[in-house]
Each structure stands twice: as C-alpha cells, then as structure tokens.
Chain A
C-alpha cells in the first residue's frame, strides 16, 4: 500500500519537470488571475471570460494540461500521475486554477476514451481538452431517478439517423451546454439491454431546455425536452443496447469526482476551527469557547482526514490493480455526508448571521455558505443517491442479496 509520504517522494526526473512547470506558469499565468477561478461554474453558470482568462484557457488547452493525464494524441497532457501531481502542486503554489473543466472533463471524456470509436475520439476529445465545448448529462427522467434504467426517452431507428422523443430532468448545466451525452431507449422490450448511449447536439431543432429553480435560489439544472430531434447514427457510442454498461462506467467517474461533492462546494477560505474562533470566540487558553461545538469540530476534522486518507488509498490501490475500484461508492457517500456536516456546522457557528439570504448585513462568504449549505443537500441525492450507493455496497461488495 502506498503511503502519503511515498506518493510525495521526489525524483530527479520529477524535479526537472517541476522546474519546467514553474517556468511555464511564470510565463503564462498572469498574477491578476490569481484565485479568480470559478469553482462553482457547474452550479452558478460559467463566468464571463475576460481576454486574460481566454488567453489562459487557450494556453492550458494548447499544452493539454487541463486534462493532464489524457493521451497526447487527443490533445491531453500525456503526463504520468506523479507528473500531474507536480503540476497540481505548482499551480496551487501560485494560486493558478484549471480553466478546463466541466462534465466533459470529469465524466464524458474518460468514458469516450474507453468506449468511443477513433472518429468520435478525434472529434470530441480535443475540443474538451481545449475547453471549447461544454457537455451536459441527459440521464434522469421524471420517472427514472434512482431507477435510472426505467428511462423512456426513445430513439427511433430511421436508417441513417435516429429520431429522439422524450423528457430528461436534472440536466446539469443544460442551459449552458453545447452537447449532451444521453441515455436513450432503442428497444422497448428490454429494460437494461434496450438502452443506448447517444450524443445529441443541444442546438438541434426540437431540443428545449427549462431551468429548474432550487431551494438555494440557483438553477444549475434543467428539464430538457426532445421533440422529433434528428440525431445522426455516427453519434451512437458503442453498440445499440450497450448504453447501460457505458452509462454506468461514466457514473463511476462521476462518483469519483462527486466524492469531493462537499469539498467542491467548500469555501476556499479558512477552516472550521478558524471560523468558529471568529464567530464564537475563545477562552483564556485559546480554545473555542463553546466546548460542545469544539468537540464536534474536532470530530469533523478527524473524519475529514480519515476520508482523505481513504481517497488516497483507493486511488493508490486502483492504480496498482488498474481500473476504478467499486469501493469508490464509499467515497461518494462519505464525502457528501461530510460536506453536508461541514455546511451545517458552518451555519451553526455563525448563528443567525449564517442564515442570511441577501442584504448588506451579510458578507459574501456568509451568503455563499448559506447557498452552499442548501445546494449541498443535493449531493446525497444526485449522481446515485446515498441509498443507491449503499445498495451497491451491500449487494456488489458485501454480497448481501435481496429476498429470494
């Protein structure tokens, strides 16, 4: 088992690479963009790009470093994991952020690299690597949430193309996306084997999106309606009927990414102990004045560290064995649970000041923590709810079967 220290061990080659990264960042990342990355783009929508931001995105895109471990031939960085970690460390050191992101990077790209044909990879991967095309996910439907395989959106075979009709919901970023990777039904007689993985152009005639307002006041999701949408057959990934397999594989990538669901929504500012010291105060020995709160913060900090160690261990083991570990299910359940705990603690610490909706009496950070707390309630629901993840753990990992 690799320890944290081993992952960090430097080598000469890596040190040379580190020097190269430093030089390149010094030449390409302007100090004026420090900390200006929009970590919440997937929730609050893309930020208006300044010319400097565009230049930075293009520079990273050319280098392929937005997707550092993807193959070079499709526009990726072609880096080893160790090199990618050096890149991430060096970027963090100068407060640089990755301008290439979204569902294309997190989920669709890795899946297409595995299942797409050569023409599809050449068409779609470089555009993702350069941050030119935004992807959204067309999975859930009003009656296909946790029971995703119950989806009814139908792609009718018309020879050289399909005609798609149906409704998707919870389409993340649907209103901002250029293209959608979709699970559709190509066969109504088989539940799982009737599903196919299809790429749909969001600008095609017959595609309509309607944003859904959430309890946080934000609208990061949409309802998406397909009415007689013509989709060329070249846009089928894999074979007809292979959609469930491909779609599930993509969800493994999603879960790996969402395990930070809480952390992604965590403000980058001070940690809980500092927030508590500020709002609650300290005793003569510098301890958080509220002993009960202090104990719960300590518990959270320890749980969070144990979670990060587990994430590192799973990553190391997956790398050793090859492929994504099924244990990734526990990362999502635990990561999202801890993210929600942190959000609840944050608002508790701040008292009523931590429950502000708007107005001058609240700082940006305070308002943000409220919206993140509310939106964070979705993290244990989307991307496979905690209940579904626990089913996966019980059935696939533990072999606990349903009533026979």
Chain B
C-alpha cells in the first residue's frame, strides 16, 4: 500500500466503508439481474457524487476537489472490490481530457456538471473491438464530426463524449441529432455502446497539443488498472477465506501444500500488481512523461488480474462455476477490462517501442 496522506487515508476508509455497507456485490447482482442498457443504478452514482468522488480529479475552480489520481485510484479500487457499477471512471477520464486540453470556457461549461455527478462523460477512442489508437477514421470536415466509435464505456448514458478524431480530441454534446447509440451487451453486463456521429457539432480541445491523446490514454489505463487491482484483491481474499473453510478428505483445503503454494504465488503477484498500479497513479499526479508508468500498471493489472480471476474459479471448484456465486462476475469483468485500452500483447509492444527496442 502506498504511503497515504491523511486526506487519502480518510478517503480510502470512507470508500471502503461505503462499498461494504451500501454497495456490496449483492447490489451489483441486482443491477445485473435488472439488465438495463445503462448498467448502473443512477441513485448510487448520485450518492457517490455527493461524497465528492466525481470531482476528485477536477480543479476546485470548477467544483472539484483536485485530490488527484492516486486518490481517485483508492476509491476505484474499493469500487472494484465489490464490482460497484458506475460511470465514475469514464467520467474522470473524459474530465481529464478537458482539464488538459480545454479552454477556460470549455472547462467552465462542462467540468462543474461532471463534478456534481449531473453529467456522465466518456472518452470515445476505439473504432473496433481491439484497441487501436493509431487508426482513427473519425474526421471533422467543415466543423462537423463524423465517425463511429465501438464499445464506448457508458456510451448508453453519456451526455458528453470526448471523441478522438484524426486531428485531435473533440467535445461532442450527446444530446443532439446525429448522435446514435446502439447497446453492445457484453458478458460483464456493464454499459458499452457503439456510437455513431453523423455530421455533429464538435468543439475541439485545442490546448493540449500533440501529446493530449497519450495523456488521456495513460489516465484511462491507470484507472482501469485500479479497478482491476480491487477486483484481484477481493478475488484473492474471497478465495483464501473459502480455502480456509471448505473441508474435503477430513481437512480444510488450506492445509494442502499444493494449494498453499498457489496462493503464496498469487499473493506475491498481487503485490507486484499493486506496486505497478499505485506507481502509475502517482506518476500522473507527479506529471511529466507518464507513458511508461501507465503501460506498466495496465500490463501487470492484465497479467495478474487474468491469473487471479481464473484461479478464483478453479480453487473454488464447482461452486465457483455457478451463477449463484460471485466468482463468474470477477472473471467476466476482468476479461473486458483486459481488452480495453490495450491488451497485454499490445501494451508490451508499446513498452518495448518506448524503450527503443
């Protein structure tokens, strides 16, 4: 665990208490069973916003608290533990694009509404099922933006899109003719939508320069990693509890050395994952070139999250395969997060390129 300041410790404790009491996995199960396109409970997001979470990375001038990315990561990690569904991550990443690249007028127009939780925003980058930021076909011509974005997180409820076009990032108000959304129902039952923009009004984020898209991607990657960290941590603890309690062959499973070693190995891997994810979040707060730190965070999150979600099922045995148990939720959400903003192969390739080899 990173060394936290008093503010961060309080925030983490508050998030932990709130998720355990107000948003346990049973709450996610209800949202899953309701199976709506929105994929979250708006009342729950409203509650989160009232606690100030929607404004953690938004400047005070625009109604946020400017606590920073490590702070946001602490909250998202806790939400990941209990699989709490909300547009918090998507909105934070979109807000970051405006903070980094927006004019004062753009910031004043949108950020206060995101900070209050009234507006859901999202970053619409990829145009196919595999992460591929080098191939953006969306174009702006005569001041109008056209293109289709695939599997946009919270695309069903977003009121504001930060859209990547060939020549930069644009703000697109979702409530205008020419924006159409089509739900993509993935195994994680969260909101993903294909969004088509047909010659819509678009407002360029002109202040960010060439690096803006990379900077936003870095934030998207570390935020996804924080959720995966919480999920992996919880998957580990749930599995450990189960092994200590399930009896076979007249002894609890945790007495079998073969299983002890697997848990010890997963424990070690999650510690590495935690270091990488926290360092990624802290790097963004520190500023400068954050690409390598973000690549490392997401790669470790992908690798360890993959292994932990798989082992959670195997170590639980048959019960882990049932819909009645929670293990499947962690597996399904984990694979979706592994695929977004770069799978492991993609990230390793970027890491090597960045290193010049």
B184 lies within 8 A of A279 (CB): no
Give the nearest-CB partner of B253 in chain A: A146
B322 lies within 8 A of A355 (CB): no
Give the nearest-CB partner of B186 in chain A: A355
Taken residue by residue from 197 to 228, chain B's Cβ proximity to chain A (1 for < 8 Å, 0 otherwise) reads as: 00000000000000000000000000000000
Given the known A-B contacts A143-B247, A347-B335, are A357 and B186 also in contact in the complex, defined by CB atoms under 8 Å?
yes
9-residue interface stretch from B40-48, B127-135, B231-239: B127-135
B187 lies within 8 A of A370 (CB): yes
A214 lies within 8 A of B317 (CB): no
B345 lies within 8 A of A292 (CB): yes
Given the known A-B contacts A215-B332, A385-B317, are A279 and B129 also in contact in the complex, defined by CB atoms under 8 Å?
yes
Contact among B249, B321, B324, B345 for A377, CB-based, below 8 A:
B321
Is B258's CB within 8 Å of the partner chain A? yes
A351 lies within 8 A of B323 (CB): no
Given the known A-B contacts A352-B192, A354-B129, are A145 and B187 also in contact in the complex, defined by CB atoms under 8 Å?
no
B321 lies within 8 A of A356 (CB): no
Give the nearest-CB partner of A403 in chain B: B257
A386 lies within 8 A of B314 (CB): yes
Is A348's CB within 8 Å of the partner chain B? yes
B-chain residues with CB within 8 Å of residue A355 when the two chains form the complex: 186-188, 332, 335-336, 339
B-chain residues with CB within 8 Å of residue A296 when the two chains form the complex: 345
B316 to A: closest C-beta gap in Å? 9
A-chain residues with CB within 8 Å of residue B317 when the two chains form the complex: 145-146, 381, 385
Is B150's CB within 8 Å of the partner chain A? yes
B322 lies within 8 A of A213 (CB): yes
- Complex CA distance for A339 and B349, rounded to whole angstroms: 27
Given the known A-B contacts A348-B343, A351-B130, A378-B318, are A217 and B323 also in contact in the complex, defined by CB atoms under 8 Å?
yes
Contact among B184, B310, B344, B349 for A356, CB-based, below 8 A:
B184
Q: What is the size, in residues, of chain A's interface with B at 8 Å between Cβ atoms?
A: 44
Is B182's CB within 8 Å of the partner chain A? yes
- Complex CA distance for A264 and B248, rounded to whole angstroms: 30
A352 lies within 8 A of B339 (CB): yes
B314 lies within 8 A of A351 (CB): no
B-chain residues with CB within 8 Å of residue A150 when the two chains form the complex: 248-249
Give the nearest-CB partner of A354 in chain B: B129
Is B183's CB within 8 Å of the partner chain A? yes
Give the nearest-CB partner of A370 in chain B: B187
B258 to A: closest C-beta gap in Å? 6
Taken residue by residue from 327 to 370, chain A's Cβ proximity to chain B (1 for < 8 Å, 0 otherwise) reads as: 00000000000000000000110111111111101000000001
Is A135's CB within 8 Å of the partner chain B? no
Is B78's CB within 8 Å of the partner chain A? no
A-chain residues with CB within 8 Å of residue B248 when the two chains form the complex: 143, 145-147, 150
- Complex CA distance for A262 and B316, rounded to whole angstroms: 20
Give the nearest-CB partner of A358 in chain B: B185
Taken residue by residue from 319 to 331, chain B's Cβ proximity to chain A (1 for < 8 Å, 0 otherwise) reads as: 0111110011001
B-chain residues with CB within 8 Å of residue A274 when the two chains form the complex: none
- Complex CA distance for A359 and B185, rounded to whole angstroms: 6
Number of A-B contacts (CB under 8 A): 122
Taken residue by residue from 169 to 200, chain B's Cβ proximity to chain A (1 for < 8 Å, 0 otherwise) reads as: 00000000000001111111100101000000
Within 8 A of A (CB), among B300-357: 310, 313-314, 317-318, 320-324, 327-328, 331-332, 335-336, 338-340, 343-346, 348-349
- Complex CA distance for A310 and B202, rounded to whole angstroms: 61
Is A272's CB within 8 Å of the partner chain B? no
Q: Which of B130, B194, B348 has the most chain A CB within a 10 Å cutoff? A: B130
Given the known A-B contacts A145-B248, A147-B249, A280-B130, are A215 and B345 also in contact in the complex, defined by CB atoms under 8 Å?
no
Give the nearest-CB partner of A293 in chain B: B345
- Complex CA distance for A262 and B314, rounded to whole angstroms: 16
A387 lies within 8 A of B323 (CB): no
Is A252's CB within 8 Å of the partner chain B? no
Is B151's CB within 8 Å of the partner chain A? yes
- Complex CA distance for A226 and B188, rounded to whole angstroms: 37
A70 to B: closest C-beta gap in Å? 31
Give the nearest-CB partner of A373 in chain B: B335
Is A169's CB within 8 Å of the partner chain B? yes
A352 lies within 8 A of B151 (CB): yes
- Complex CA distance for A386 and B314, rounded to whole angstroms: 9
Is A132's CB within 8 Å of the partner chain B? no
A215 lies within 8 A of B185 (CB): no
Given the known A-B contacts A214-B323, A361-B194, are A145 and B318 also in contact in the complex, defined by CB atoms under 8 Å?
yes
Given the known A-B contacts A355-B335, A361-B194, are A377 and B186 also in contact in the complex, defined by CB atoms under 8 Å?
no
A-chain residues with CB within 8 Å of residue B128 when the two chains form the complex: 351, 353
Is A390's CB within 8 Å of the partner chain B? yes
Given the known A-B contacts A280-B130, A292-B349, A352-B192, are A214 and B187 also in contact in the complex, defined by CB atoms under 8 Å?
no
Is A167's CB within 8 Å of the partner chain B? no
A-chain residues with CB within 8 Å of residue B131 when the two chains form the complex: 351
B317 to A: closest C-beta gap in Å? 5
B-chain residues with CB within 8 Å of residue A280 when the two chains form the complex: 130
B84 to A: closest C-beta gap in Å? 20
B-chain residues with CB within 8 Å of residue A279 when the two chains form the complex: 129-130
Taken residue by residue from 86 to 113, chain A's Cβ proximity to chain B (1 for < 8 Å, 0 otherwise) reads as: 0000000000000000000000000000
B187 lies within 8 A of A374 (CB): yes
Give the nearest-CB partner of A170 in chain B: B318
B-chain residues with CB within 8 Å of residue A381 when the two chains form the complex: 313-314, 317-318, 320-321
A61 to B: closest C-beta gap in Å? 34
B224 to A: closest C-beta gap in Å? 13
Taken residue by residue from 378 to 391, chain A's Cβ proximity to chain B (1 for < 8 Å, 0 otherwise) reads as: 10111001110010
List 20 A-B residue pairs with CB atoms under 8 Å apart, sorted by A's residue number.
A140-B318, A145-B317, A146-B248, A147-B250, A150-B248, A150-B249, A215-B332, A217-B323, A290-B345, A348-B345, A351-B343, A353-B129, A354-B339, A355-B339, A358-B185, A359-B184, A374-B187, A374-B331, A387-B258, A390-B258
Task: Please name the 10 residue pairs, one residue from A and one from B, whose CB atoms are nearest each other, closest first.
Answer: A215-B328, A351-B129, A353-B129, A351-B130, A292-B345, A147-B248, A213-B323, A352-B129, A359-B185, A352-B151
- By a beta-carbon cutoff of 8 Å, the part of chain B in contact with chain A is 128-131, 150-151, 182-189, 192, 194, 247-250, 258-259, 310, 313-314, 317-318, 320-324, 327-328, 331-332, 335-336, 338-340, 343-346, 348-349
Beyond A146-B317, A390-B258, 14 additional pairs, beta carbon < 8 A: A212-B322, A214-B322, A351-B130, A351-B343, A352-B130, A352-B184, A352-B192, A352-B340, A357-B187, A358-B185, A359-B184, A361-B184, A370-B187, A381-B320
